[in-house]
């Protein structure tokens, strides 16, 4: 059983149009409905309550779908522990080593691209927009 329910702010705008007594009945109806009691309401309050009831039903269905999905995932063994390498799952150790080497090569090429970009820019900034968008982190160190 759920321990809470959601009241959406856009739905609560109706509170500006009804009396405090009607708002209290509406809130109690929301509570009753969510604990399994069908609220007894006058015609106007019942009409105001219907969109809330429909949203509660949609939220409950979404919650139950999430619970079912989590239950199914849990029965599969759940998330692997963080100590396991996700890319070393292969049964063939040679393939796992190759995957490790490929990721290392990618990191090396990324670092090379970064250093190439720094060489191209040097101390000269050809684009004024680049100069304006570059952050000066040194002046923020005093704030941290």
**Each residue's pLDDT expressed in tens, for the chain with a length of 144 residues:** 678 899 989 889 999 999 999 999 999 999 999 999 999 999 999 999 999 999 999 999 999 999 999 999 888 887 777 886 555 555 565 665 665 566 555 555 555 555 555 555 554 555 444 444 444 444 444 454
Domain ranges in the chain are 11-74
Q: Is 29 exposed, middle or buried (0-12, 13-18, 19+ CB in 10 A)?
A: buried
Task: Check: pTM over 0.75? Answer yes or no.
Answer: no
**Residue position matching structure tokens 């290392």:** 104
| Residues sharing a CB contact under 8 Å with residue 32, sequence separation 6 or more, in sequence order | 38, 39
> What sections of the chain are H helices per DSSP?
20-34, 43-75, 93-121, 128-133
Report the distance separating Cα 28 and Cα 20, nearest Å: 12
């Amino acid at each position: 059983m759920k321990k809470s329910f959601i009241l959406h702010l856009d739905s609560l705008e109706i509170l500006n149009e009804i009396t405090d007594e009607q708002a209290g009945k509406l809130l109690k109806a929301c509570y009753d409905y969510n604990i399994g009691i069908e609220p007894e309401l006058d015609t106007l309050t019942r009409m105001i309550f219907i969109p809330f009831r429909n949203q509660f039903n949609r939220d409950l269905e979404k919650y139950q779908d999430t619970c079912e999905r989590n239950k199914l995932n849990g029965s599969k063994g759940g998330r692997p522990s963080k100590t396991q390498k996700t890319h070393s799952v292969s049964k063939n150790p040679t393939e796992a080593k190759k995957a490790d080497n490929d990721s290392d090569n990618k990191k090396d090429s990324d670092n090379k691209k970064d250093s190439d970009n720094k060489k191209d820019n040097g101390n000269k900034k050809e684009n004024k927009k680049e100069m304006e968008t570059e952050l000066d982190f040194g002046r923020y160190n005093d704030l941290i």
